[in-house]
Amino acid sequence: MHLDDGTTVNSAKTLNLSRTPIPGMLVLDLPVYGDGRGWFKENWQREKMVQLGLPDFRPVQNNVSFNSKAGTTRGIHAEPWDKFVSVASGRFFGAWVDLRAGDSFGTVFTAEIDASRAVFVPRGVGNAFQTLEDCTAYTYLVNDHWSAGAQGEYTFLNLSDEQCAIPWPIPLSEAEMSAKDRHHPALGNVKPMEPRKVLVLGANGQLGRALRKVYAELPWVEFASHQEFDVADKSAYSRKDWRRYGVVINAAAYTAVDAAETAEGRAAAWRINAQAAGYLARIAEDHGITLVHISTDYVFDGSRERHDENEEFSPLSVYGQSKAAADVSVATIPRHYIVRTSWVVGDGNNFVRTMASLAMRGVKPDVVDDQVGRLTFADDLARGIKHLIDSRAPYGTYNVSNDGPPMSWAEIASTVYEKLGASRNDVRGVSTEEYFSGKPNVAPRPRSSVLDLARIISVGYRPRHQIEALSEYLSSRS
C-alpha cells in the first residue's frame, strides 16, 4: 500500500539480504509496517541481520543527512570505515564504485533506496546519493568515530566520470552539488584505497622473517621487532592508532622451553606469552581487529597419538602453561585465528640447522627417539597464516604443520645426515631420560606432537610433505 507521503509499505515483505557486483557490498530488504498514521520498521537489527550474512561490523556512530530538495547530489566519497545506509524519509538514487586496491577496482552498482531498503557499504567503496524527493533524509551507521584527521584518508571520484558512466536520474547539470564534488578526479587518476594495515609483531624471529617474505610486495603490511614494539609493555599499546589496523599477527613469544623452568624464565614466559596475549586480545576486541596468535603443541601432554583442535589443554611445562593461558585469552574475542604448530624450522637457530652443521663436521650425535611429531617450516606456516586471512576462513583454531608420516627427532636427524651425504647410522637414538640425564632445569616434553591437519586442509590450504620441505631447506643452505 502507499501512504499519503508516497512511501510504499509492504507488510508482507520479509527481511532479506542480497549481494551486489561489488565484493562485500550488500542490499537488505526491510519489512515496513504502516497505516494512515505513518510507518514503522526495524532499521538495524544486529542478530537477525548477522544471521543473514551481514558482517558484525560494530557501529559506533549514527549520522543523518537531511536534503531539502530533490536532485541534491553528494559524492563520490570512499571513506575509511564501513557504513550501513538507510532512509528515514523520501527516496534517493544511490551509486557505488569500488575504489579499493584490487581486481574489483572501478566496479559500479546503482539502486533506488526508499524506506524498505538499506545498503551495507564496505570501507573503501565510494558512495554517491541523489535525492529523488524533497525532504529526503538518509541515516547511516559507521564503525569508527568521525574525526577531522580521518578526512585525509578519504578517496574521491568524479560524479560524471565517463568510464563509470553512472545513469543519474536527474542530470548533473540540473542537480544541486557542491563545487568540491564537481572537481574530484576521474577514475584513471584515483589512487585506490589500501586495506586496513596488517601488523606483524615479533617480525625478526623465524616466523617473523618468513612473514616478511610472503608479505614483501604489500605496502600496507607493517613489521615490528621486539625492539620496535615490546608486546609485554602495556604502555606501548597506547602509542598505536589501532583504528588503522585490520589484522595483527602475534609472532612474538618466549620460546626458551628449559629456561622457562627457572624463576626468572618463568616470569618472562608468563609476561611475554600470556600477559601480552591478554593485552592484544583487548585491543583487538575494542577495535574490531582480527588477531592471529601462534600456539604450540606444548599445550598438550602428548599422551594422545594425534592432537586435533578440540583437545583440552594439558600442558606439562611452564612454557606450555603460559601458551595455553594465551590461547584462552585469544579465544574469548570473536575475530581470532589461533594457529597451533610444532617443531618450527626457519631462518635462525633450529634443530635442522644444528644437525646439518654436525653432519658437515663429522660429529656423531645422540638424538631423542621417543618424541614423535612433524616439522613445520616457517615459510609454510607463514603461507598458511596468509591463506586463513586472505580466504576469510571461519574464525577459530587451526593446526598447521608440514604433512607426511610422523617422525622422531632421531629419524629427522638421520634424514638430514643422509641428504647431506653422511651415514644415517652416525645418529644414535636415545630416550628422553637418557638424553637429559644430569641436566638441570629440563622442561617435560610431550611424547607425541603430531597435529591433525584436517581442518586447515578443509579451508583450502594443503601443507607440503615435510621431507619435500626439508630437502628444499637443506639445498638452499648448501
- Residue pair 275/323 in contact (Cβ under 8 Å)? The answer is no
Rg (CA), the chain: 28
Between strands 61-67 and 38-41, the pairing is: unpaired
Catalytic pick among 138, 140, 398, 417: 140
- Residue pair 51/145 in contact (Cβ under 8 Å)? The answer is no
Query: What integer is the mean pLDDT of 386-407?
Result: 96
Residue 92, classed as helix, strand or coil, is: strand
How far apart, in Å, are the Cα atoms of 390 and each of 70, 77, 225, 243, 385?
42, 26, 23, 20, 9
What is the per-residue pLDDT across 269-278, written as a single tens digit (0 to 9) for each?
A: 999 999 999 9
Catalytic pick among 77, 293, 336, 387: 77
Query: What integer is the mean pLDDT of 375-396?
Result: 96
**What's the pLDDT at 10?**
52
Residue 410, classed as helix, strand or coil, is: helix
**What's the pLDDT at 9?**
55
For residue 322, the surrounding DSSP H or E stretch is helix 318-331
Rounded Cα gap, residues 378 and 12, in angstroms: 56
What is the per-residue pLDDT across 78-93, written as a single tens digit (0 to 9) for each?
A: 999 999 999 999 999 9
CATH (residue range 16-29+52-189): 2.60.120.10
The predicted model scores a pTM of 0.86
C-alpha cell of 346?
626457519
**What's the pLDDT at 13?**
72
Whether 77 is catalytic: yes
**What's the pLDDT at 2?**
47
From the number of C-beta atoms within 10 Å of its C-beta (0-12, 13-18, 19+), residue 219 rates as exposed
Percent pLDDT > 90 in the chain is 87
Q: Which fold has domain 197-476?
A: Rossmann fold (3.40.50)
Rounded Cα gap, residues 222 and 248, in angstroms: 10
Whether 140 is catalytic: yes
What is the per-residue pLDDT across 158-172, written as a single tens digit (0 to 9) for each?
A: 999 999 999 999 999
How far apart, in Å, are the Cα atoms of 111 and each of 64, 139, 141, 444?
20, 16, 19, 63
Residues in the chain: 478
What is the per-residue pLDDT across 190-211, written as a single tens digit (0 to 9) for each?
A: 999 988 999 999 999 999 999 9
Domain with CATH 3.40.50.720 in the chain: 197-476
Chain centroid, CA 406 distance in Å: 30
Domain with CATH 2.60.120.10 in the chain: 16-29+52-189
Neighbouring C-alpha atoms within 13 Å toward the C-beta of 284: 26
C-alpha cell of 378?
616457517
Rounded Cα gap, residues 436 and 456, in angstroms: 35
Rounded Cα gap, residues 469 and 292, in angstroms: 24
